Every structure is written in C-alpha cells, then in structure tokens.
Amino acid sequence: MAKVLVIEDDDATAAEMGSCLSTAGHEVRREADGAEGLTAALGGGFDAIALDRMLPGLNGLEVVARMHAAGVYTPVLMVSALSDVDERIAGLRAGGDDYLTKPFDPGELAARLEVMLRRRCWAVQTSPTLKVGDLELDLVRRSARRGERQIELLPMEFKLLEFMMRQAGQTLSRRLIFETVWEYYFDPGTNLIEVYVSRLRKAIDGPGERALIHTVRGQGYKLDAA
C-alpha cells in the first residue's frame, strides 16, 4: 500500500494506470501536466511517481531535474512512447529510477513500481542476509544456504537470486529481470531468462523440498515461500 502520483496527460492511459495501481492496492493521485505534477511532487507525501516523458508545459526530464534540485528524491518510473534505448538511458540518467515503454502491460507497470519501491528499502536495509522461508542468502560472504544445505551459485545466479529474493512474492517479467539483473535493454532472444531461472531453480529447489521459484504463465517468475 503506497501513495502513487501519476503525471500523465493522456486520459485513457492515466485511467488505465490508475485502475491497475488501485487494483494492486495503491492510492493514486493524477496530475495532467508537468507544472502541476511538479507542484504535487514537491508537496511530498508520495512513495512513488509514474511520470510521462512527454508532457505539456514541463517535460518529464525537467520535472525530475527540478524535483532533485528541490531535494525531493521520490522514486520515479518514467513512462514514455519513446522506446529507443538512448531515450531510455537519457531518462534513467536524468534521474528516473526505471523506464517503461508505452504501450505497457498494466501488470508490468504495477510490478515495476513495486520493484522500485522495494529497491528504495534495500539502501536502508542493514541485515547482511536475505531470508525467504528456509532459503538464506549471505550478501557479505556471497553464499546461499537452504536449511542445512549449502548451495553453490555462479556470480550471475547469485545476482539473480538476490533480486528475486528482494522481490519475493512479486511476479517478475522476463524483461524486468533482464533489465534489472543484467542491465541490458534488448530482447535477449528465445529463452535466455528461462534457462537462467531453471538453473537457479535446480540449485534452490532440491528434491523433496518445497518449490520456492514459481512460473507465472504469461507473466514471468516469482520467488515465494507461501
């Protein structure tokens, strides 16, 4: 449950974003242009902002820049019709925390916002270990353990597991995983993420153990103890 500010000039898109974020249990406020959006953002009290890259008045990049100038660092998800990788990188460089290309799947929007919100918590987290059920990840010694069983992981597998554990319970799309864990912004082809996740699954979910990594068909993957 978080308070989300949606700054989007297109009514249809805004309505769609609003309905999907409400469904996910967030409180949503919408502003239709850059200047008003900025005022609302500076007013504070929001946990996250979904910001259109192209807005009448102030554009998205400027909104972020002014927010930062005023010392407001609310996480920003940049939403844009510009899919070019360069645009994406410009958006992230300007201070966006994540970048989503229109048209997007509402589920993807909710998931990315969730990831963004949780990522903010990583910074303040003090515990050197992550725990999901009986799975433990030691971030300092870079080791993983399930119950009494030590798990050998390659560096990339460790990074993937860390991300999935931090986002435990959240469905993560293949694209989101690839962009966040590998930080590449292209379509990696057929089944790259599938292969990595199934390797990880083989390592984590031993025979007779309860499965922690779940495939959500048509959506992605989820690491969950429940």
Partner 1 sequence: MPLRDRITDVWRTTTARLTVFYGLIFAVGILALLGVVYWQSALYLHQRVEGILKARAELFMQASAAELPGRIRQGLVFEGGQQVNVYALFSRDGAPLAGNLRALPKGLTPDGGPLDTPPTADFPFQARLIARRLPWGEILVVGRDISVLSEMRNIMLQALFWSAVIIILTGLVFGAALSLSPLRRVRALQGACREIAAGDFSRRMPVSLRHDELDMFAATVNHMVDEVERLMSEVRGATETIAHDLRTPLTRARARLHRLEQAIGDPDPRAEEARWVIDELDTVLGRFRAILRISELEGRRRREGFVETDPQALVLQAAELYGPVAEAEGVALRVDKGAPSTIDADPRLLFEALSNLVDNAIKFTPSGGRVRIGVEEGPRIVVQDDGPGVPQGEQASVLQRFYRGERDRLTPGSGLGLSIAAAIVRLHGFALSLEDAHPGLRAVIDCAPEAHEI
Please identify, among the stretches 60-68, 69-77, 137-145, 188-196, the one whose residues bind partner 1 according to the rule CB under 8 A.
188-196
**What sign for the dihedral angle of Cα 34, 40, 43, 49?**
negative
Q: What is the token pair recorded at 18?
A: 């609003």
Whole-number Å distance between alpha carbons of 75 and 48: 5
| 57 counts as binding partner 1 under rule CB under 8 A | no
Residue 156: which H helix or E strand, with range?
Answer: helix 155-166
Surface-to-core class of residue 102, CB atoms within 10 Å of its CB (0-12 exposed, 13-18 middle, 19+ buried): middle
Name which position in 27, 45, 68, 85 contacts partner 1 (CB under 8 A). 85
Name which position in 59, 129, 143, 198 contacts partner 1 (CB under 8 A). 198
Shortest Cβ distance from residue 142 to partner 1 (Å)? 18
Whole-number Å distance between alpha carbons of 10 and 120: 28
Nearest to 174 by CA among 103, 222, 125, 137: 222
Q: Which residue, 97 or 157, is less far from partner 1 as judged by CB? A: 157
| 189 counts as binding partner 1 under rule CB under 8 A | yes
Q: Which residue, 120 or 199, is less far from partner 1 as judged by CB? A: 199
Draw the binding track, 87-126, toward partner 1 (x: CB under 8 A; -: no contact). Answer: ---------------xxxxxx-------------------
Strands 76-80 and 48-52: what pairing?
A: parallel
Please identify, among the stretches 29-37, 53-61, 64-72, 177-185, the one whose residues bind partner 1 according to the rule CB under 8 A.
177-185
Q: What is the token pair recorded at 224?
A: 């969950």
Name which position in 185, 201, 205, 215 contacts partner 1 (CB under 8 A). 185
| 156 counts as binding partner 1 under rule CB under 8 A | yes
Draw the binding track, 205-224, toward partner 1 (x: CB under 8 A; -: no contact). Answer: ------------xxx-----
Q: Which residue, 16 or 62, is less far from partner 1 as judged by CB? A: 16
Shortest Cβ distance from residue 147 to partner 1 (Å)? 25
Query: Which three-class secondary structure string do you get for 85-152?
Result: HHHHHHHHHCCCCEEEECCCCHHHHHHHHHHHHHHHHHHHCCCCEEEECCEEEECCCCEEEECCEEEC
Q: What is the token pair recorded at 203?
A: 């390592």
Residues that bind partner 1 (CB under 8 A): 16, 20, 83-86, 102-107, 156, 182, 184-192, 195-196, 198-199, 217-219
